[in-house]
Structures are given as structure tokens and as C-alpha cells.
Amino acid sequence: MNHLFTVEGITCGHCEKAVTQAVLALDAQAKVLIDRPQNSVLVTSEKNRDALAQAIAEEGYCVAH
């Protein structure tokens, strides 16, 4: 299942890595595609959308619902 999030604060490669690792910690099989200019994070995962958003938010990023 694809989940598209608008995430504020991803400004560099380190940020991308932090968000990706947060998602992979929840679902090691997930695929993460980040588009910094669009503030978008596309996650392909069978995990619950809210759980994925929470994992990203716990890294310090603002996730729009």
C-alpha cells in the first residue's frame, strides 16, 4: 500500500536518511521515496498510516495529515 505524506523540515541528505531509517525501523520491507523540493515522502508499506506518520514525527519532522 502506498502512503503519501507531506513532511516539513527535510532539508538535506541527513534528514532523508533519518526519515528513511525511522520508517525502516517500523517496517524493514518498506520502500521510501523522498522528494525534498515537494516536501513529500512516499512510503510503500503494509503498516498502518498513522504508525508510519508517528515514526517520522518522532524524528522531529512535522507530518501533515
Q: Is the dihedral of CA 18, 65, 49, 43 positive or negative?
A: negative
pLDDT at site 54: 98
Q: Are 7 and 49 spatial neighbours (Cβ–Cβ below 8 Å)?
A: no
* pTM for the predicted model, two decimal places: 0.94
Q: Are 3 and 52 spatial neighbours (Cβ–Cβ below 8 Å)?
A: yes
3-state secondary structure of 30: coil
Q: Considering the domain 2-64 in this protein, what is its CATH number?
A: 3.30.70.100
pLDDT over threshold 90, residue 19: yes
Q: Which segments of the chain are extended strands (E)?
A: 2-8, 31-35, 40-44, 62-64
Give the bridge partners for 44, in sequence order.
2, 31
Domain range summary for the chain, segments of one domain joined by + = 2-64
